[in-house]
Structure 1
Amino acid sequence: MKFMKKVRVKLRQWRKHYLDFSPNTYKFIWALLFFILISLSLNLDLIPNQIDLQAGEVSSRDLTAPKTITFIDESSTARLKQQAANTAPRVYEEDSTVDQEIQNKLNSLFASVIKQRQLYLIDKLELSGSEQNSQSAEELMAENRSSFTPEFFRTELTKLSASDRMAIANSVRNEIKFELGRQTILNLIPRPEQDLLDFKNEISLLLENELTNRILPSELDGVKTKLNNSILELDLSNQQKETAAQITDSLIAANMFLNIEETEKRRKEAIADIEPVEKTVRQGEIIVRKGDVVTEQEINILERLGLQKTGIDYYNILGRLIIEFILIVLLGFYFYKYQSRIWHDNSKLLLIELLIFIVILLAKIFTLFQNSLVDYMVPTAIASILLTVLIGSDTALITTLFLSLLLAPIYDLNFSIVLTSILAGLVGIFSVSKVKERGDIIRAGLNVSLALFFLIGGLYLLQDNRELSYLAWTISGGIINGILVAVLANGLLPYLEDLFNMTSSVKLLELSNPSQPVLKRLLVEAPGTYHHSIIVGNLAETAAEDIGANSLLARAAAYYHDIGKLKRPYFFSDNQFGGENPHDKTSPNLSALIIKSHVKDGVEMAREVGLPQEIIAIIQQHHGTNLISYFYQQALQSNRHDDIEKKDFSYDGPEPQSREAAIIMLADITEAAVRSKKFNKNNHDRIEGFVRGLIKDKLIENQLDKSELTLSDLDTIAKSFVKVLTGIYHQRIEYPEHLLKEVKGGN
């Protein structure tokens, strides 16, 4: 502890010489440093990951899963969605115009063949040059229709050369609106007109029979094959069958078309119906075996487990920084708005920041093990317990909530970790709300272990995948968490008290132990003052507890409030025991100076032995600015001049600044006055009236104005004092004389 005091003194001196800033500047500097440290803890790996595999490489060792994880198998999910999209029903609608278009094309083909060969033959007629030049072939044929008989054309067609037929075929191809092979048209040109018409009708009948059915684009090849088979069954020559097959293949078309919009809608519905494929990797499961070629899927699993090196995810880092910044701002605003005493005390803010950083750093270290055991070992309750003991439960509560939310990014937003962290902190806060001894902190840690045992069991029952080995690991981690909290909280408490100059309940309990060196000196060198202080402690502790003040602080401060009398114990009536009174040989002014100097001497001695500032303040304030009336009256009687001033016979103060200081002032005066008063102390009403009179005097003298005590508090204090004093000065029964002799050993 002496080492920590030296450290604190050195830091104070160094800050005074080199960093003499305003409190708000310090607040900003510590907040900035806190933000930087937390940011580094959240985003930097303490130990670089050594695994750096690529798909297609051969693994040099077995890689096992350090924990159980469940994730969405994106590749399998994508494959199922693609299958659903491919198998989704396509929506087709009938095109009623297809049948007529096919018939029109068929008719146009044969009409064109007949027309073009007639025109070609007329062009070859040996008519008069003038007439032929002035009239078109159609006009000539119309005027000489009687000359162009079927027999004429049949005869003339047989006379056509190969070049003539090619010319006619080219004209037909240019006139029709669909693709058809030249040879197919050449096969039609020499046939008589009636044969062509009969041939057309047969083809038309075949097409009509097929078009009565629904023909999808995917079915078109099958329909063509069916038409070819039907043509083979006709009583036609091979050339005619081949020609008919060519024509039907060119003309036949699907009469059902795809409704793209409705089909896409069905595809999306089918994809939406696909549930994501979850994959679970068990703790201890071998992901990649030594000597195996690593696949993309295995690389994905290694990345999810945090075993595979990946590039820097700047979006992830930015997200963590945003979350951290918002939480820190909200925490600071809470203290600024609702706990101004914390906001204006930089040492308390620094303590809060330090404890948060310690827990975050421990959590980051635990993540390196990547094991379900250590996942639940994050000792959040350390901060909760220490802040409750050193500052208060309100501060501990909001800090626990902030700290638990800050852990979420470290554990990939794991709800279970956050929930267990909050619960462990709350149990720790409730367990140390009233610390009576150091063992209470140990019991708080055990309470945390018990609470986590049941909470982790409940979370396990909520999971779909339940493995007893996982349950055993996590519950063990929760139990160790509580033990770790108990050990670390107990170990850190005295160091934090000294480093930040704070006083905990445990410290007050230790100071209240009669074996403390100062109290032992008081007992030996000033026994009257010691017993007076013990009674004042009983009075103050009872009254403080009754009004809701800090009873431990009141008792400890009462034990030390008169340690200044150790410098000159024989000048105080407590320690004279009927002997010679040294004040009889001194002037009233000097006596008053000696009496009131015990306050200053007590403050100096308290600082020398390292008593907390709260107790030092009470030592300084426990007499306020009260008048030392006895010596003041003596001075007035013995002095023949009017130069006596009250301030020379009054304590330097200040008046009590806290409820505990005011209680000790009243208890000090009450105990001394009741002990010295000559009246029947067995009379409850007499004691109560006397006590209330003393309290009323101090109220009238304005000694209690700054203590925040209410009139109701003063009434409660009076009742508490009377209850204790009645117990001390209770009436004792008188033993019979023969029984008294037996007790003394007489006959």
Structure 2
Amino acid sequence: MTKDRLLRKYLLLPFLRLFRNHTARRVLWWVIFFLFSFIILGANFIPDQVVLETGEVAKKDVYYNGGVVTYTSEIKTAEARAKAAQEVPQIFQMNHQVLNNLELGVEDFFVAVSTIKNDANLDETAKMEKLKGLLPESVPQESLSALLDADQETVAMLETELKGIIRTRMQDGVTKDQLESVQRRIINDVEALDLKSSFKVCLRGIVNQLKFEPNKIYDPVTTAQEVESKLAQVKPVQVTIQPGEKIVEKGAVTTPEQIEALKYLGLQRANTPFPTFVGLFGFIAIVYVLIIVYIRGYKPELQKQESNIVLLGLLINVSLIIAKIVTSIHISDRPEFASQLGYAIPIAASSMLAAILFDVRTAVFITVVLGLFIGVITNGQMIYVTVAIVGGLVGIYRVANLSQRSHLVRASIDIGLVSALTVGVLGLMWNQSMPVIGLGMGMGLFNGVFASILTIGTLPFLETAFGITTSVKLLELSNPGHPLMKRLMVEAPGTYHHSILVGNLAEAAADAVGADSLLVRVGSYFHDIGKVKRPYFFIENQPSVENPHDKITPTLSTLIITSHVKDGVELAKEHKFPKVIVDIIEQHHGTGLVSYFYHKAKEGDKPESVLESDFRYQTPRPQNRETAIIMLADSVEAAVHVLEKPTKGHLEAKVREIIKQKLDDGQLSECDLTFKDIAVITQTFVRVLNGMFHSRIEYPDQVAKEMERGKAKGGVNHKEPAGQSDSNPGDGRAS
């Protein structure tokens, strides 16, 4: 087997078989849109990167274009801790024993001097020798003699003065570094005493003999404990970076703080951390699972058509692309102003499109989903999420009952005003400045206009591309100036009048049971459009008593009558009508029996050869409530127009008879009308018909007879007489 055959057998063919499977294609579409969302949101985590080092001169300005970010700066925190540690003074312990020892040393010296002076066993020479042993050799003989000759009071005074000087200098504490300086100051203080110079020399000698030690001792343990206490009080330094803020200025020397900011924001690192993408992948997966669960649980009809999934995925991802573009625009070097552009993200456009193209509940859910994604794009800033969701909900409310495109303009005003108001109150709540709040409110107003422009501009393309019939499209079709309506009015005036009456009946019934009344009205206008191809074969369009069916067989008459459905479908497709209208045209008779021609055929020569199936419409039964209501309204309107006395009782009896016939014939078996709905429809038909056939003026007998004679001569009736109607009145006549 060749390589090409192997590829076809094991790769191409399995893929083609998989793609033919409807479920597999739906899963594939969800995977594709999931990946699109991941790429779009992932771009938010891959900012422009630069390669800078501390002390390097920046070659260009570096801006941060994400949302508001607050992070803990390790550098600034370290600086704050160092500053706090420096502010803690060194702690010393006082050693009072040092001063005591010095004072004792002075006392011991003078005790020894007194002992020497008072020792009677010593002569002057011996006393002098002993005194020399107490003082340094540098003390001259004269000073020693003066000290020996001094009286006891003088000796005591010298002792007191020296001890006082030492205490004064040492009592506040002296560190090791201060010790030498303090000794000099003590000597200076001694020199400043009002004493004989010989006494000063002796006191200096005593000071030089004393053993000075620091009495203020550094306590490292207590100091360290105090430092730790202060450091514990230092809070991590938070740095906030606003959207659009300039991180590095061109030509400036890069600081460590700037390098740290660049690394934290991802502007400096070579690769985005893998865990970031894992988290983003998981978040988007959760959101898409919620979307799928919502559709399967609450809107299962959406997933029956792949086009709905494609449209939903496009709405989500195109909205994200627009949001990404809007947030990347740089409008100011001041970050507080640049960040206000986030309020211009037009989520309301997607909300309105979802409400118009799908339904209100789906639109609300999609708005919340987009709000979550906006939170990712704006780096978790709930203020933007809040404004986006509020604007989207207002847009949904304004288009929930959209009746014309101009209402989207009114929606833009409401969205803009509510968005601006929301921005204002949130700005006040977060203490923003008035200029910033004013700019944000302006962006909110712009949001409303921008959203409506996007909605108005894209709606026609989406309607056409995905074959979705919106209320706006139906309103355009309901215009009496539509080419087919004009043609119906000119070529088949009786059918035109009948269609208008059917529309009135069906619309009232649809309103009563909660069906789509606009779709019912438009479908009623065009349900018999196929009659324009052979208008005179339908009695409501015959200007004279001549009836072409009198010249042909019942079988051929049935073929002509039933062919107006096929002709109507062809005309509708030719004019590119929405599928829902084409379905109404095709299904509004179901498999109903053309009873008049069937009974006429049975009255022929060979009644046993007449098959009922040959006289039935070969079209699908109504598949939804709207088409079923049009079927009932069509038959009822045809039947009541041939009543001779359309009194209230007769009208109600005829309506009930027609609806019962449709039920018994199984024409309502494939739609979702309930018996309760049918009861409400019956009451609505009776009420509307009573309004149509209200009490009329009583004519004189003679005039009434003349009118009856005019009818007998072939007066025009807007509805077919027995045998030529394509409706199915319940009196045994043809439908």
Whether the TM-score (by the shorter chain) exceeds 0.5 is yes
Alignment of 1:632-711 (within 5 A): 632-679=598-645, 681=646, 683-711=647-675
Residues 1:258 and 2:257 are matched in the alignment: no
Q: For residues 438-460 of structure 1, what are the alpha-carbon distances to aligned partners after superposition, in whole Å with 9 as ceiling and x for unaligned? A: 11222222221111111111111
Residues 653 and 69 of structure 1, relative CA distance in 2, 3 Å threshold? closer
Residues 35 and 90 of structure 1, relative CA distance in 2, 3 Å threshold? farther
Is the contact made by 1:95 and 1:255 (CA closer than 8 Å) also made in structure 2?
Answer: no
Q: Which residue of 2 aligns with 1:416?
A: 383
Q: Which residue of 2 aligns with 1:381?
A: 348
The answer to which of 520-529 and 661-670 deviates more is: 520-529
Is the contact made by 1:69 and 1:305 (CA closer than 8 Å) also made in structure 2?
Answer: no
Q: Which residue of 1 aligns with 2:22?
A: 23
SS state of the match for residue 314, structure 2?
Answer: helix
The answer to which of 74-83 and 655-664 deviates more is: 74-83
Q: Which residue of 2 aligns with 1:114?
A: none
Q: Which residue of 2 aligns with 1:157?
A: none
Residues 1:465 and 2:432 are matched in the alignment: yes
Residues 1:728 and 2:692 are matched in the alignment: yes
Q: Distance in 1 between matches of 2:434 and 2:665?
A: 73
The answer to which of 51-60 and 539-548 deviates more is: 51-60
Q: Which residue of 2 aligns with 1:130?
A: none
**Equivalent AA in structure 1 for residue 456 of structure 2:** N
Alignment of 1:471-490 (within 5 A): 471-490=437-456
Structure 2 residue runs of 5 or longer lacking an equivalent are 1-14, 102-162, 191-199, 332-337, 701-735
Q: Distance in 2 between matches of 1:361 and 1:79?
A: 42
Is the contact made by 2:565 and 2:585 (CA closer than 8 Å) also made in structure 1?
Answer: yes
The answer to which of 603-612 and 218-227 deviates more is: 218-227
SS state of the match for residue 408, structure 1?
Answer: helix
Residues 1:84 and 2:84 are matched in the alignment: yes
Is the contact made by 2:592 and 2:616 (CA closer than 8 Å) also made in structure 1?
Answer: yes
Tell me by how many angstroms 1:642 deviates: 1.2
SS state of the match for residue 676, structure 1?
Answer: coil
Q: For residues 96-123 of structure 1, what are the alpha-carbon distances to aligned partners after superposition, in whole Å with 9 as ceiling and x for unaligned? A: 9x99xxx9xxxxxxxxxxxxxxxxxxxx
Which among 670, 677, 683 is matched to residue 713 of structure 1?
677
Is the contact made by 2:416 and 2:444 (CA closer than 8 Å) also made in structure 1?
Answer: yes
Q: Which residue of 1 aligns with 2:591?
A: 625
Q: Which residue of 1 aligns with 2:330?
A: 370
SS state of the match for residue 642, structure 1?
Answer: helix
Is the contact made by 2:18 and 2:24 (CA closer than 8 Å) also made in structure 1?
Answer: no
**Equivalent AA in structure 1 for residue 312 of structure 2:** I
Tell me by how many angstroms 1:367 deviates: 2.1
Q: For residues 271-330 of structure 1, what are the alpha-carbon distances to aligned partners after superposition, in whole Å with 9 as ceiling and x for unaligned? A: 24x7x45667798x8876665444344566778999x66543224343333322221122
Q: Percent identity?
A: 36
Between the two proteins, the alignment pairs up a number of residues equal to 604
Residues 267 and 32 of structure 1, relative CA distance in 2, 3 Å threshold? same
Q: Which residue of 2 aligns with 1:441?
A: 408
Q: Which residue of 1 aligns with 2:288?
A: 328
Tell me by how many angstroms 1:433 deviates: 0.8
SS state of the match for residue 410, structure 2?
Answer: helix
Q: Which residue of 1 aligns with 2:271?
A: 312
Residues 1:539 and 2:505 are matched in the alignment: yes
Tell me by how many angstroms 1:423 deviates: 0.8
Q: Distance in 2 between matches of 1:694 and 1:402?
A: 48
Q: Which residue of 2 aligns with 1:131?
A: none
Is the contact made by 1:231 and 1:245 (CA closer than 8 Å) also made in structure 2?
Answer: no
Is the contact made by 1:228 and 1:245 (CA closer than 8 Å) also made in structure 2?
Answer: no
**Equivalent AA in structure 2 for residue 729 of structure 1:** F
Residues 1:616 and 2:615 are matched in the alignment: no
Q: Distance in 2 between matches of 1:434 and 1:241?
A: 107
The answer to which of 421-430 and 565-574 deviates more is: 565-574
Residues 1:350 and 2:313 are matched in the alignment: no
Is the contact made by 1:90 and 1:263 (CA closer than 8 Å) also made in structure 2?
Answer: no
Residues 399 and 565 of structure 1, relative CA distance in 2, 3 Å threshold? same
The answer to which of 313-322 and 644-653 deviates more is: 313-322
Q: For residues 545-571 of structure 1, what are the alpha-carbon distances to aligned partners after superposition, in whole Å with 9 as ceiling and x for unaligned? A: 121100111111111111222222221
Tell me by how many angstroms 1:51 deviates: 7.1
Q: Which residue of 2 aligns with 1:41?
A: 40
Q: Which residue of 2 aligns with 1:146?
A: none
Residues 650 and 91 of structure 1, relative CA distance in 2, 3 Å threshold? farther
Q: Distance in 1 between matches of 2:16 and 2:250?
A: 62
Residues 253 and 441 of structure 1, relative CA distance in 2, 3 Å threshold? closer
SS state of the match for residue 377, structure 2?
Answer: coil
Q: TM-score, normalised by structure 1?
A: 0.71
Q: Distance in 2 between matches of 1:348 and 1:281?
A: 39
Residues 227 and 529 of structure 1, relative CA distance in 2, 3 Å threshold? same
Q: For residues 155-183 of structure 1, what are the alpha-carbon distances to aligned partners after superposition, in whole Å with 9 as ceiling and x for unaligned? A: xxxxxxxxxxxxxxxxxxxxxxxxxxxxx
Is the contact made by 1:537 and 1:556 (CA closer than 8 Å) also made in structure 2?
Answer: yes
**Equivalent AA in structure 2 for residue 359 of structure 1:** S
Q: Distance in 2 between matches of 1:91 and 1:552?
A: 89
Tell me by how many angstroms 1:264 deviates: 7.3
Q: Distance in 1 between matches of 2:252 and 2:533?
A: 85
**Equivalent AA in structure 2 for residue 581 of structure 1:** N
Q: For residues 555-614 of structure 1, what are the alpha-carbon distances to aligned partners after superposition, in whole Å with 9 as ceiling and x for unaligned? A: 111111112222222211221233321111111122122212222222233222221111
**Equivalent AA in structure 2 for residue 316 of structure 1:** T
Tell me by how many angstroms 1:535 deviates: 1.0
Q: Which residue of 2 aligns with 1:509?
A: 475
SS state of the match for residue 44, structure 1?
Answer: helix
Q: Distance in 1 between matches of 2:301 and 2:562?
A: 32
Residues 236 and 338 of structure 1, relative CA distance in 2, 3 Å threshold? farther
SS state of the match for residue 620, structure 2?
Answer: coil
Q: Which residue of 2 aligns with 1:393?
A: 360
Q: Distance in 1 between matches of 2:45 and 2:70?
A: 26
Tell me by how many angstroms 1:483 deviates: 1.0
Q: Distance in 2 between matches of 1:669 and 1:83?
A: 93
**Equivalent AA in structure 2 for residue 711 of structure 1:** F
Residues 231 and 48 of structure 1, relative CA distance in 2, 3 Å threshold? closer
Residues 719 and 256 of structure 1, relative CA distance in 2, 3 Å threshold? same
SS state of the match for residue 630, structure 1?
Answer: helix
Q: TM-score, normalised by structure 2?
A: 0.72
Alignment of 1:495-506 (within 5 A): 495-506=461-472
**Equivalent AA in structure 1 for residue 662 of structure 2:** K
Residues 260 and 574 of structure 1, relative CA distance in 2, 3 Å threshold? farther
Residues 1:519 and 2:485 are matched in the alignment: yes
Residues 258 and 305 of structure 1, relative CA distance in 2, 3 Å threshold? closer
Q: Which residue of 1 aligns with 2:721?
A: none
Is the contact made by 1:557 and 1:618 (CA closer than 8 Å) also made in structure 2?
Answer: yes
Tell me by how many angstroms 1:504 deviates: 0.6
Residues 670 and 91 of structure 1, relative CA distance in 2, 3 Å threshold? farther
Q: Distance in 2 between matches of 1:722 and 1:625?
A: 25
**Equivalent AA in structure 2 for residue 714 of structure 1:** I
Is the contact made by 2:417 and 2:445 (CA closer than 8 Å) also made in structure 1?
Answer: yes
Tell me by how many angstroms 1:692 deviates: 2.4
RMSD after superposition: 4.2
Q: Which residue of 2 aligns with 1:567?
A: 533
Residues 26 and 219 of structure 1, relative CA distance in 2, 3 Å threshold? farther
Residues 1:529 and 2:489 are matched in the alignment: no
Q: Which residue of 2 aligns with 1:337?
A: 297
Tell me by how many angstroms 1:214 deviates: 12
Tell me by how many angstroms 1:235 deviates: 12
Is the contact made by 2:84 and 2:231 (CA closer than 8 Å) also made in structure 1?
Answer: no
Tell me by how many angstroms 1:637 deviates: 1.1
